[in-house]
């Protein structure tokens, strides 16, 4: 049955539908979107509505017109956050988008002194936590560096986090299965700051010594009804397009 979008918002709903497919990896770079006629029939909207939706996606750099091929997904789509990656896996089981991989996986136990992390996880400065690090890549080019920090009570429940390997199931799903407590994602925030030397190296940014390179950083804390469970930080390479406010 055709989907009928609310009056006055049809183009936004059509754009959101295809944006979700692109973010979820169900439409890969180079894939063609359906024809205007097919989209009209699917959503029950006018040609003008479809044109406005496609124009919006083009303005976001997600799609482009390619002559006889019609409208196709751009080669370099937006870079999603770690929290969005959880949403994508819950919807379609896809950890990576087409052409996306990860490298540099490390698992460390460290004393934590960063005041923001200590506050988020209710830790005292110097308390030990588990840190997982990985670099996400699109077509073998680094796009973001993911850092996740877990307090001891989380790793006690989900010991898979301590293994120096890619997780086959996300921690929130394992935690809920084993405790019966839902994992809640907190407010995601973003800020720009100067990249550290370690971040520049991980993102393969060749910058002169002592130069300032700005990067976008997003953070989010996960918790259940009783306690904080994890703190995630994503650091994005300059030029990355990151969806926010969703």
pLDDT at 99 over 90: no
244 band by pLDDT with thresholds 50, 70 and 90: low
Q: What mean pLDDT do residues 168-180 have?
A: 93
pLDDT at 55 over 50: yes
Domain final residue pick, 21, 46, 73: 73
pLDDT at 84 over 80: no
Residue 35 sits in a domain of what CATH number? 1.10.10.10
What is residue 126's predicted lDDT score, i.e. its pLDDT? 97
Q: How distant, in Å, are the alpha carbons of 82, 115, 172, 189, 231 from that of 220?
A: 9, 15, 14, 7, 6
What's the pLDDT tens digit per position in 122-157? Answer: 999 999 999 999 999 988 889 999 999 999 999 999
Number of alpha carbons in the 13 Å side-chain half-sphere of residue 242: 26
Average pLDDT, the chain: 87
What's the pLDDT tens digit per position in 187-238? Answer: 889 999 999 999 999 999 998 887 889 999 999 999 999 999 999 999 999 8
Tell me: do 89 and 34 sit in the same domain. Answer: no
Contact 217, 209 (CB under 8 A): no
Tell me: do 181 and 113 sit in the same domain. Answer: yes
Instruction: Give CA angle at 81 (76, 84), nearest 5°.
Output: 105
Q: Give the structural domain span for 64.
A: 10-73
77 band by pLDDT with thresholds 50, 70 and 90: low
In a domain, 241, yes or no: no
Tell me: do 38 and 87 sit in the same domain. Answer: no
Tell me: do 167 and 113 sit in the same domain. Answer: yes
9 band by pLDDT with thresholds 50, 70 and 90: low
Tell me: do 89 and 205 sit in the same domain. Answer: yes
Strands, E assignment, the chain: 63-65, 71-73, 100-111, 128-138, 141-150, 184-185, 189-194, 214-223, 228-236
| Number of compact structural domains in the chain | 2
In a domain, 3, yes or no: no
What is residue 95's predicted lDDT score, i.e. its pLDDT? 72
Residue 144 sits in a domain of what CATH number? 3.40.1410.10
């Amino acid at each position: 049955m055709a989907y009928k979008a609310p009056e006055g918002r049809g183009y936004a709903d059509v754009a959101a539908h295809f944006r979700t497919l692109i973010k979820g990896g169900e439409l890969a770079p180079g894939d063609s979107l359906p024809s205007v006629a097919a989209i009209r029939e699917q959503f029950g909207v006018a040609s003008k509505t479809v044109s406005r939706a496609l124009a919006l996606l083009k303005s976001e750099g997600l799609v482009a017109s390619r002559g006889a091929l019609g409208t196709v997904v751009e080669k370099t789509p937006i870079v999603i956050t770690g929290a969005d990656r959880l949403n994508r896996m819950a919807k379609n089981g896809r950890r990576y988008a087409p052409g996306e991989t990860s490298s540099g996986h490390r698992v460390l136990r460290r004393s934590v002194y960063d005041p923001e992390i200590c506050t988020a996880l209710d830790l005292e400065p110097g308390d030990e936590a588990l840190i997982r690090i990985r670099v996400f890549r699109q077509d073998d080019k680094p796009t973001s560096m993911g850092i996740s920090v877990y307090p001891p009570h989380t790793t006690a429940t989900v010991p898979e986090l301590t293994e120096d390997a890619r997780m086959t199931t996300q921690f929130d799903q394992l935690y809920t299965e084993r405790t019966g407590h839902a994992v809640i994602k907190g407010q995601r925030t973003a800020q720009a700051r100067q990249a550290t030397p370690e971040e520049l190296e991980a993102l393969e940014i060749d910058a002169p010594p002592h130069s300032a390179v700005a990067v976008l950083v997003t953070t989010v804390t996960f918790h259940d009804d009783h306690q904080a469970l994890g703190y995630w930080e994503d650091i994005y390479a300059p030029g990355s397009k990151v969806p926010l406010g969703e």
